A and B are shown apart, each in its own frame.
Chain A
Amino acid sequence: GENVEQHPSTLSVQEGDSAVIKCTYSDSASNYFPWYKQELGKRPQLIIDIRSNVGEKKDQRIAVTLNKTAKHFSLHITETQPEDSAVYFCAASRGGTGGFKTIFGAGTRLFVKA
């Protein structure tokens, strides 16, 4: 079945450093790759997403890269701040006639130390 693997499970960085989270997916028909941030006790919220026809997308301090051949994608957070501390989930889904069933990775708990 479809699977999304996410690494690392925990990441601790110093404020101002960069953080990188990596995911791989198994369903070659996946064409939409969102990233969600979940703060403690809150619901997940979308922070950035990318479609399979794009290799990279950037939004201020956040960027996502996609390698469709290798079936992996990564989240890059630069100049990390304490408020970036949260759990980050990657996901993969397919659109069109296959619907948008979404498979999430297990999550990465990011700690940004002030």
Chain B
Amino acid sequence: GAGVSQSPSNKVTEKGKDVELRCDPISGHTALYWYRQRLGQGLEFLIYFQGNSAPDKSGLPSDRFSAERTGESVSTLTIQRTQQEDSAVYLCASSFVPGLAGSNEQFFGPGTRLTVL
């Protein structure tokens, strides 16, 4: 079946503009994650959705960042008034939550490379 997909694959924007990034998770995966990866750096947790529970937004770096997810489907990450330091690859991942005994493997999308000029 299809893996996690993200769009656009690349986005170049001017400082101050808003951008919207999209993630389509694997069907049936109840958990969805957003990460930011700056060039040569690690994966920075942004936000986590699990089913109908309130999302864990503790990783969002500022109030310019927000994300939504409708049910267990598509998620969008919105960055308002973009700044140059927002330039990074934004990765989305989804997983099946099997309970306490199984693997919680996260399946990553190809990422959206955001460049803020």
* A interface residues (Cβ-Cβ under 8 A, vs B): 1, 6, 31-32, 34, 36, 43-46, 49, 51, 89, 91, 93, 95-96, 99-107
Contacts and interface: CB of A to CB of B under 8 A. Distances in A.
B42 A106 contact: yes
Interface of B: 31, 33, 35, 41-45, 48, 50, 53, 56, 58-59, 91, 95, 97, 99-101, 103-106, 108-111
B56 A101 contact: yes
26 contacts: A31-B100, A32-B104, A34-B103, A34-B104, A43-B108, A43-B109, A44-B106, A45-B108, A46-B106, A49-B105, A51-B100, A51-B101, A89-B43, A93-B104, A95-B100, A99-B31, A100-B48, A100-B95, A100-B104, A101-B45, A101-B56, A101-B58, A102-B45, A102-B48, A105-B42, A107-B42
Nearest to B102: A51
B20 to A, nearest CB: 21
A100 B45 contact: no
A33 B95 CA distance: 15
Given A43-B109, A45-B108, A99 B50 contact: yes
A6 B110 CA distance: 24
Contacts of A106: 41-42
B91 A43 contact: yes
A89 B58 CA distance: 21
Given A46-B105, A89-B42, A107-B42, A99 B48 contact: yes
A15 B45 CA distance: 33
Contacts of A49: 103-105
A107 B109 CA distance: 19
B31 A100 contact: yes
Contacts of A45: 108
Contacts of A102: 33, 45, 48, 106
Given A99-B48, A104-B44, 11 more contacts: A1-B58, A6-B42, A34-B106, A89-B43, A95-B104, A96-B100, A101-B59, A102-B45, A104-B42, A105-B42, A107-B41
